[in-house]
Amino acid sequence: MHYPNGKKNHHIRQPAAANRSQAFGNRGMTLEADINATNTYYRDINKANIHKKPTPVQVVNVHYPRRSAAVITEGYFKQPSTTDYNGVYRGRHIDFEAKETKNKTRFPLANIHGHQIEHMKSITKHGGICFLIIRFSVYKETYYIPAETFFPFWDEQFNNGKKSIPYETIRCKGYRIPFHYQARVDFLAIIDQLYF
């Protein structure tokens, strides 16, 4: 590094090559980060109001190492979580779960919990728009799966059916969400197609 006077500073340590490659290897955004950025963009342009739902936690013990800092040392989940996101778009309730898998050939149903499915079934019964967003990270492909399309796969597993949905089935029955700069996971474009 050179200062404005042209002299070189030998005291600044450069990162090792291994650290540089590791840092560059983790540059990709996760599905959750992409959806959060998309929802922020939707709110900024006043298109929709959708948020990630916080998981309710009961704090049991807090450690105060100093006045300005508190560390939660013990806590537990108050109740099972429902879905990841909800909000309002064009007067309709939006509710969805987002899952990312590294699996190349299938989406394991074990990634979803029974209480989440019950919640999703209730949302659809009451006229809400409910769906899953599934990303196959190996292919960098993201799909919108309507809840009504997903439910038969879920129910079938309890009647000696498959415990996963093949990648090819998701490609055929789902809607691929292309990556955009601002609306990275533009799921509202799919909703417009299906509902409006």
pLDDT band at 116 (very low <50, low <70, confident <90, very high): very high
Query: Is the domain covering 28-53+81-195 a CATH 3.40.1350.10 domain?
Result: yes
Q: Is 155 annotated as a binding residue?
A: no
Q: What are phi and psi of 130, to 5 degrees?
A: -125, 140
pLDDT in tens, 21-56: 333 333 345 999 999 999 999 999 999 999 998 766
Which residue ranges make up each domain of the chain?
28-53+81-195
Residue 136: strand pairing partners: 101, 141
Q: How far is CA 189 from the centre of its chain?
A: 17
Q: 0.95 exceeded by the pTM?
A: no
Is residue 82 annotated as involved in ligand binding?
yes
Ordered alpha helix ranges (H), 30-175:
31-44, 114-125, 147-156, 167-173
Alpha-carbon gap, residue 150 to 157, rounded angstroms:
12
Among 147, 154, 148, 146, which Cα is nearest to 107's?
154
Percent of the chain with pLDDT over 90: 67
